[in-house]
Structure 1
Amino acid sequence: MAHALLTERLAGLDRRWWLWPAALWLVSRLVSTALLGAFAGRQDANAWTPARPDLLDYSTMWDAHWYFIVAMSGYPTELPVDDSGHVGENAWAFMPVYPMLARVLMLTGLPWEGAAVAISLAASLGFALVAYRLFAELAPGRERFALAIVLLSPTAPVLQLGYAEALFLLLLAAALLAWRLQRWEWLWVLLPILSLTRPGGLAFALALGLWFLVRASREREAFPAQERRMLVGLGAWSALWGFAWLIACTVATGSLASYLETELSWRSAYIGRQELVPFTTWPIGLEWWFGPWWPLWLAGIVLAAVVLLAGPWARAVGLEGRLWVVAYLVYLAAVWFPQSSTWRLLMPAFPLALVLAAVRPAWARGMLLAACVALQPVWIWWCWHVGERDWTVP
């Protein structure tokens, strides 16, 4: 039945449906490219580039260098240790799908910088097309403006940098669309690749679990046992792949703690070496940033999330999209230490754009898009551009 429904939907689509998302992608990339180029021309010499680097070099700074190390050298079996005996920053924090694809593309003669950016650009185009289809399924009528919000968002330059974000968003949008259309066979294939591109398997397992509970409580008669077993299996499959990289790191290094120690090394520059206790990282981080005012900031963040996800404007958005956002935000609340990378880490919550797309009237929509574009240079300046006294890792 699901296959017949998909065929019917495809038959009803305009054969040129792809023109809008492709055109919007092109416009958004021209905007981000112009901004990145302008900042590159003002970039001083730094650890990654000479002064005034070309656009490719400027687009592959920061963590892109770690992906380069993975592409060229793979992963270490002996982890670096600092003077106090703690594991230092190393390549295991970066998953293999994106750098390995770049390594394959380099066989054509492209340098690392060109291969990395080419993959991100191609993946971002694929994401625009798939996300448009997904948005049309989740909230018909909102798909155009929602996609514009995502592609012109303050963090949109990431979609063409030497990071795995664009590829992950493409895989995630495809997985969410497969879930919406109940094309379960796609999920069996997509979830492992997604989980080895960026962390996401555990959040997707939680989203499927929430969907199972909702359907079991609301649709007992219309929720057959076969489908229940399928969802349980997919949830377990997603959770397994969510732990797969930790397992791989353990096998390669011989230490169960190696992956978590690697991840914790990045936040130690802020708060020193601390154990990971789920759901404590945001209070710790906000206290580090804002001192005794951190409860107010935490309350504001929680209130904003509740308003966006539970307000009347969200009810018109398909349940799958809302449950994914809830699950992903819970995942971030459990393990993520808030710092400048948080802005790009919020990009997988892109179905929230369907909620923002409900804004009216037309002038308010125009102001929202203008604000998105205006904040792109702010993000580039504060979170990407390397200054004399840089304080952040994007």
Structure 2
Amino acid sequence: MALAGLTDRGARLAERWWLWPLALWLVSRLVSTAFLGAFAGVQGRSFWTPAGPGLLDYSTMWDAHWYYIVAMSGYPAELPLDDDGHVGENAWAFMPVYPMLARAIMALGLSWDAAAVLLSVAASAAFALVAYRLLQEIAPGRERFALALVLLSPVAPVLQLGYAESLFLLLLSGALLAWRLRAWEWLWVLVPIMSLTRPGGLAFALALGLWFLVRWARERDAFPPRERWMLVGLGAWSALWGFGWLIACTVVTGSIDSYLETELSWRSAYIGRQELVPFTPWPIGLEWWFGPWWPVWLVGIVAAAVALLAGPWASGVALEGRLWTIAYLVYLAAVWFPQSSTWRLLLPIFPAAAIVAALRPGWARALVLAASIALQPVWIWFCWHHIAPDWSVP
């Protein structure tokens, strides 16, 4: 009887699996809101806000203003040029799904600030649910701590700001879960939307390609031809949408260089105008930051990534989660110029939190989680809070 009672109780808890991720999400948002509210109270007058702005105004600074421009005005057909004739910063650097959805929410009578924050908060709650299911699939037994580490990470406040991160993470976690469950039909739908929310299509195509190669090498005879062709098709589909926004920008502006030149305009404040040569931005950036010591930093960063993903603790995470993390890091290595936004751009490797969840003993995990929470106000202060002149963009 007692055993039957425990079994029934376990079944009821399994049916209500969503309680844990939603409770964790609520706690995490209360923590981040408290930090953001405290900093809003001491924010001076800035380009975006008056002194001591309300929480909504404070939550829609920086690039949230570009999303506002996209929502209200769309994209320019003629690109702005700086004094040297180079393409200047413009709205094409910001993809359309997030601002268009926020604009649709404004139809409920909400202001832009309220609509943008509401969208981010709602997407973060949905992300908590889908990510929890994904983590259950790729790292059973580690899902609770892994999700806690993601939702309470140093950059977790961005999940409720006027940025596209929450929505992108929701779509990404859905795509990864569909991949894990072999629900291929969902990937045909999710990949285009995800790729027009934030850049990710090329990394996803690479992840699928790596998985194809691994399966071909390990289980060629048990790798059905139909599934092979499905992966080839989905990889090509992801790659196409990875270039989709560049193609759209080219069609509207009439210049094939317009999107890349737009993106390069943001890093020109650091290193001047340079061409994008894959895998050179990190050496160039690290040299700008650390001078002749840059090779030491580069070796250290690569060694840390390899240690995280190739160590024995990573074996408890399913191949899909590890391959996505590798593919996304390779993508960043190829195109990203390292600066203060790098911390935010690491959020998509959230499946790697399941690797950290293997830490033993328990006090070590508690220490990591406490450090993550303690670093939230540090991130807000250095990256979000604005004190002119401010080069540490979020």
Q: Distance in 1 between the 2:389 and 2:187 partners? A: 45
2:212 is the alignment partner of 1:208 = no
Partner-residue secondary structure (3-state), 1:51: coil
Instruction: After TM superposition, give the deviation of residue 393 of structure 1 in Å.
Output: 1.7
Amino acid at match of 2:134: L
Q: Distance in 1 between the 2:122 and 2:299 partners? A: 39
Instruction: After TM superposition, give the deviation of residue 59 of structure 1 in Å.
Output: 0.2
Instruction: After TM superposition, give the deviation of residue 13 of structure 1 in Å.
Output: 7.8
**1:215-364 correspondence runs (5 A):** 215-364=215-364
Q: Distance in 1 between the 2:388 and 2:241 partners? A: 41
Q: Distance in 1 between the 2:223 and 2:25 partners? A: 39
**1:1-394 correspondence runs (5 A):** 14-394=14-394
Q: Distance in 2 between the 1:158 and 1:38 partners? A: 15
Instruction: After TM superposition, give the deviation of residue 387 of structure 1 in Å.
Output: 1.0
Q: Distance in 1 between the 2:265 and 2:388 partners? A: 23
Q: Distance in 2 between the 1:388 and 1:117 partners? A: 24
The CA deviation string for residues 343-382 of structure 1, in whole angstroms up to 9 with x for no partner, is: 0000000011001001111211111111000000000000
Relative distance call for 1:177 and 1:12 in structure 2 (3 A) is farther
Partner-residue secondary structure (3-state), 1:220: helix
Q: Distance in 2 between the 1:210 and 1:49 partners? A: 46
Q: Distance in 2 between the 1:157 and 1:226 partners? A: 43
Q: Distance in 1 between the 2:12 and 2:119 partners? A: 32
The CA deviation string for residues 173-219 of structure 1, in whole angstroms up to 9 with x for no partner, is: 00000000000000000000000000000000000000000000001
Q: Distance in 2 between the 1:280 and 1:32 partners? A: 35
Amino acid at match of 1:127: F
Q: Distance in 2 between the 1:88 and 1:73 partners? A: 17
Q: How many residues align?
A: 384
Q: Distance in 2 between the 1:156 and 1:87 partners? A: 32
Amino acid at match of 2:334: A
Instruction: After TM superposition, give the deviation of residue 388 of structure 1 in Å.
Output: 3.2
Amino acid at match of 1:239: A
The CA deviation string for residues 115-148 of structure 1, in whole angstroms up to 9 with x for no partner, is: 0000000000000000000000001000000000
Q: Distance in 1 between the 2:247 and 2:328 partners? A: 22
Partner-residue secondary structure (3-state), 2:14: coil
Instruction: After TM superposition, give the deviation of residue 43 of structure 1 in Å.
Output: 0.2
Amino acid at match of 2:125: L
Partner-residue secondary structure (3-state), 2:84: coil
Q: Distance in 1 between the 2:388 and 2:336 partners? A: 27
Partner-residue secondary structure (3-state), 1:315: helix
TM-score, normalising length from structure 2? 0.97
Amino acid at match of 2:61: M
Q: Distance in 1 between the 2:290 and 2:87 partners? A: 28
Q: Distance in 1 between the 2:114 and 2:379 partners? A: 23
Aligned Cα root-mean-square deviation (Å): 0.9
Amino acid at match of 1:223: F
Q: Distance in 2 between the 1:341 and 1:366 partners? A: 26
